[in-house]
Amino acid sequence: MSIILDQSTRVLVQGITGKEGSFWTKHMIDYGTNVVAGVTPGREGQNVAGVPVFHTVKRAVRNIPVEASLLFVPPRFAKEALFEALEAGIKKVVILCDGIPLHDAIQMRKAAISAGAMVIGGNTSGIISMGQAMMGFFPYWLERVYKPGRIGIMTRSGSLTNEITAEVVRAGFGASSLIGIGGDPVPLTRFAEVLPLFEEDPNTDAVVLIGELGGTMEEEVAEAIENKIFTKPLVAFLGGRTAPKGKKMGHAGAIITAGKGTVKDKMIALKNAGALVAERPRQVGTLLESILASKI
């Protein structure tokens, strides 16, 4: 079992005929993803790796049942593409691009909530249910990283994801689902909104959170633990402990503002809530072993 995505999920790819869209669509299919349709305006009648292409999302869903959409579009077109998917009734959307205009992102999150949809991104590698399916661009052929197992992973950082997940595998575990929340200032889905899905998943025994400075998402996770919304073990690693205040570090969302968002404060909040916090990436696997070796 997994969360959000599995082999049966019927996926549409918006921007499927572009260089990145066509390349990763083929890899997603090879991995087991059920890609049933694609959309590129003006390209209807073509196909990519056997997947039919339509002018619009509405035309695609009129012909083929669709449950989820993956967006390979530039940031300035992300809002329009998301609204098109939501208007077609799609409830699961992953947006990969980074640099979505702030005002657009605010409108996009509001629209997703109004539609009752889960929209992941932007500035993310996507989501992957290990050994089943993926929506995004993951080097799944790296077996030292992408190994099926019973650890859920939520992350804001693509680069740290491979390093931390490799430590999970090195410790003898694997991942159930990996959710790339993304690094933009306005995440369209927040960590605390994903936690209940991992809580309900019988094949997830613990969660690893890969966070960073900036924002309040990690503090929201601490609140979810304190309020018993999430009751399984959680191990966190937070990047950016030495970042100077007021400086943007890598991601647009990784900035300390108004005295909030420091890694120190996040670590204190998580520890006080009962989570385990790793000081170094290699400690993530060790901490998992300490709490799960007798269970898995």
Domain boundaries, given as residue ranges, for the chain = 1-123, 142-296
Catalytic residue among 27, 55, 103, 251: 251
Per-residue pLDDT at 2: 84
Q: What is the pLDDT of residue 241?
A: 66
Tokens (6 digits) for 217 = 């998402």
Say which CATH class 142-296 falls into: alpha beta
Whose structure tokens read 């309040």? 216
Confidence (pLDDT) at 124: 96
Q: What is the pLDDT along the chain (296 residues), one digit of tens a residue?
A: 689 999 999 999 999 999 999 999 999 999 999 999 999 999 999 999 999 999 999 999 999 999 999 999 999 999 999 999 999 999 999 999 999 999 999 999 999 999 999 999 999 999 999 999 999 999 999 999 999 999 999 999 888 999 999 999 999 999 999 999 999 999 999 999 999 999 999 999 999 999 998 889 999 999 999 999 999 999 999 987 655 655 555 554 444 554 557 899 999 999 999 999 999 999 999 999 999 875 54
Q: What class, spelled out in words, does domain 1-123 have in CATH? A: alpha beta
Q: Dig out the tokens for 24 from the structure.
A: 């990763």
Residues with Cβ within 8 Å of residue 191, at least 6 apart in sequence = 154, 181, 209, 211, 217, 218, 220, 221
Has 251 been annotated as catalytic?
yes
Q: What was the pLDDT predicted at 293?
A: 72
